[in-house]
Amino acid sequence: MSNQPSLPNAKRPRTFLRTVLWSLPLHVVSSIAVVGGAAAYYSSIVSSHGTWATVGSWSLTAIYVVCALIGGALAGVLSAAQQTVERLELTLRDWLHALPAIPSSSTPAERSLATARQEYEALVDRCVNHTAERLRLPRWLDKLIRTALQGVVVDRFITSCTNRGLHLVAPQEFRNWLLAEGVSLGFMPVQDQLSWWRYLILGLLGLLVAIVFVLVLLNK
């Protein structure tokens, strides 16, 4: 494919590490304040019930603080991953505006579905590679994105063309479909998976707080 569109050269976006450095402390401090604070409140209530009750309650507080630290850190990393995936999607959308410039005088304006599949998969993979390097994605997040995008976006476009009875497609056809729904369909499973794990962790931390308040009610 001649005259491929150049990859985005805009101002370098915030890297994954920088996003983590902003998101991680926020989640950790919030988790410790809520979960650890609830446990400390329970300890202050039962501290007058004897030495063993005091020791047990403050041991529970220490365990809660550790759980809040771990849970908050994981939630912060997952939140940073979500934000990074959003930036990756936006960068890919910006780059897709260059796709109509692909054809040249030596390249036919339309190509068969088999040819289009090879060319467009190479284009998407090339842009994801370049953008992932700019965002400095960790290996686990890079693998998660590639697994979700590998073949899925182009396969759905080819299926869409087949259902419409198209046998030849132009580059701008692929570009328009991607901007309309293809990119979102590709990144949606990644976002959903990251959101599910993040809310699961926050839900478990909330359950710890609920247990503490039940213990408070039982000791009143």
Task: Give pLDDT tens digits for 142-180.
Answer: 888 777 776 666 777 777 777 777 777 766 676 677 777
> Are the CB atoms for 104 and 2 separated by under 8 Å?
yes
Q: Rounded CA gap, 7 and 22, in Å?
A: 28
Distance CA 155, CA 111 (A): 16
Indicate whether 103 pLDDT > 50.
no
pLDDT, position 68: 94
Average pLDDT over residues 86-109: 63
Mean pLDDT score, 123-141:
76
pTM: 0.73
**pLDDT level of residue 78 (50, 70, 90 thresholds):** very high
Q: How is residue 108 annotated by DSSP?
A: -
pLDDT band, residue 106 (cuts 50/70/90): very low
| Distance, CA of 88 to CA of 186 (rounded, Å) | 12
- pLDDT higher than 50, residue 5: no
Q: What is the mean pLDDT of residues 5-27?
A: 71
Q: How high is the pLDDT of residue 12?
A: 47
How many CB atoms neighbour CB 213 within 10 A? 12
Task: Quote the pLDDT of residue 96.
Answer: 67
Helix (H), strand (E) at residue 58: helix 51-96
| Mean pLDDT within 211-220 | 82
Which of the pair, 108 or 74, is modelled with greater confidence?
74
Which tokens in the block code for residue 88?
């990756």
Instruction: Provide the pLDDT confidence category of residue 104 given band limits of 50, 70 and 90.
Output: very low
Q: Read off the pLDDT of each residue in 26-51 and give the average, rounded to a whole number.
A: 86
CB–CB of 183/141 below 8 Å? no
